[in-house]
A and B are shown apart, each in its own frame.
Chain A
Amino acid sequence: MTCLGRRALLAGIALAPPALAQGESRVVVVGGGFGGATCARALKRAGLAVTLVESEATYAACPLSNAVIAGTRPWERQLFSHEALEREGIHLIRHAATGVDATARRVVLGDGTRLPYDRLVLSPGIELRFDALPGYDEAAAEIMPHAWKAGPQTGLLRRQLEAMEDGGTVVMTVPANPYRCPPGPYERASLIAHYLKTHKRRSKLLVLDAKDSFSKQRLFQSAWAELYPGLLEHVPLSGGGRVVAVDAAARSVSTEFGDHAGAVVNVIPPQRAGRIAREAGAADRSGWCPVDPVTFESALVPGLHVIGDAAIAGAMPKSAFSAAAQARVCAAAVTSLLQDRAPAMPKLINTCYSLVAPDYGISVAGVYRPADGVLAEVEGAGGTSPLDAPPAFRALEAGYAEDWFGTATAEAFG
């Protein structure tokens, strides 16, 4: 076992109240997205009493929302409810969690209610930073949408693209690492280019990037050269792609080298862990939450676990696939810790599918295990789809992307 693993285990044994002796242990999960919903169901299957705190009545899934933006997928297919979880006996509380009293082991809700817990799991996703890019605040996002949390913003970006005259320029800005879904901006660029190619042939897409290298880069770039030549221009950091300020009134963004105005501007701003994780004291100065790679227990706050986008999960990317894989490992570890048993050494997989066109899918996969206190990639495994593959292979992967979405949402929401 790693040092961190042992420390979390000892902390767990020392601090966990003798809950089992008194009856059921209380586990509270905050956030009912891919991480939280999957975790709550796994904990319930393990026989624990589970309370899920989720502020929204409907969950809007981000994966495949880029296809909604491109007009090739109906929005309704992104929407899920937590009714099946309630039917399974998970106690659902539709409220925002506003704080955590880690000493008394209580979650504080917006209405002042205090929920006691023996173990707490946080899967709050991300908070978009409206204090990081000069000119980009919540009001600016109504003019230059981010669409990085699926919801009204997704529809706004879709409508702006539809309303744009043929010949208009679309500008996208991409942040530096780390952020939710590393290949997501490039999938979005691809699918917007597909929309322009099929509906607005005289329009162009300019992608301003704060990085020089990115996920599945060679696959994306060779597909762009093949499918969208002259239509999609990607400007990397070294080419002056880093956006340093935006001007919503002018619908323009500035790099160190000049300004770019667009008919439609999609700004993906920098991000950090969801607010509740920071309120709980579980985030470090980076804005994200360091965790034990065996149990996902916070390195900063004992008794509290963080999974999904909010966690610093070593080499694992911030994806819905990772969040769900971590959710199951965390649920098993919480179950073990509540029984004073040593948590098992986990192994986790991530796979992210991206659509470069509706019938053209690519993927990146990785296998991970705890090593030296972090989740490290298993060498010799994983990697991307082959660079030279026939169209039938790309079509198969596009189909598997849809299959994965069906399975992941069925596992999370029933």
Chain B
Amino acid sequence: MPIRNTVATLLAVALGAAGEGPPGAASCTGCHGNARAGMAIPPIRGMPAEAIGASMRAFRTGERPATVMDRIAKGFTEEETQAIASWFAPR
């Protein structure tokens, strides 16, 4: 029993550690949480990774107008953005 407990805990812990995502992803959740009715901030969970990446690139260059995402996207490199995008896509 103790052994099974340990394995279960370790497994859960290992999965959970990835649960907060790559650097930065946990902060996106501050505004892009689970979709709720009447929300004006668009949800990004489940959006294709390429679309998240393309939006972030357009926010960073200023090509896509924004209220706040331009200021946020500039804080992430292309590599970091890709990691975040791939993490949000399947959720």
Chain A residues near B (Cβ < 8 Å): 20-25, 42, 45-48, 321, 324-325, 328-329, 331-332, 335-336, 338-339, 341, 344-349, 351, 363, 365-367, 369, 378, 380-383, 385, 393, 396-397, 399-400, 403-404, 406-408, 410-411
Contact = CB atoms under 8 A, between A and B. Distances in A.
Contacts of B24: 346-349, 367
A349 B20 contact: no
- For the complex of A and B, 6 pairs with smallest distance between CB atoms: A47-B12, A367-B75, A46-B16, A381-B75, A349-B27, A328-B26
25 contacts: A23-B9, A46-B12, A46-B15, A46-B17, A46-B20, A47-B9, A47-B11, A47-B16, A48-B9, A338-B13, A339-B17, A346-B23, A346-B26, A351-B30, A351-B72, A363-B68, A365-B72, A367-B24, A404-B31, A407-B29, A407-B36, A407-B41, A408-B30, A411-B30, A411-B33
A312 to B, nearest CB: 19
A14 B80 CA distance: 32
Contacts of B64: none
B23 A347 contact: yes
A332 B29 CA distance: 15
A411 B13 contact: no
A365 B12 contact: no
A45 B31 contact: no
Nearest to A364: B71
A381 B80 CA distance: 14
B90 interface: no
Nearest to A335: B17
Interface in B4-46: 5-6, 8-17, 19-20, 22-24, 26-34, 36, 39-41
B39 A406 contact: yes
B6 to A, nearest CB: 6
Contact of A45 (B19, B28, B39): B19
Most chain B CB within 10 A, of A21, A22, A46, A351, is at A46
Given A347-B24, A381-B74, A365 B17 contact: no
Nearest to A341: B17
Contacts of A24: 5, 9
B5 A403 contact: no
B17 A382 contact: no
A23 B13 contact: no
A80 B28 CA distance: 23
A235 B19 CA distance: 48
A381 to B, nearest CB: 3
A129 B26 CA distance: 33
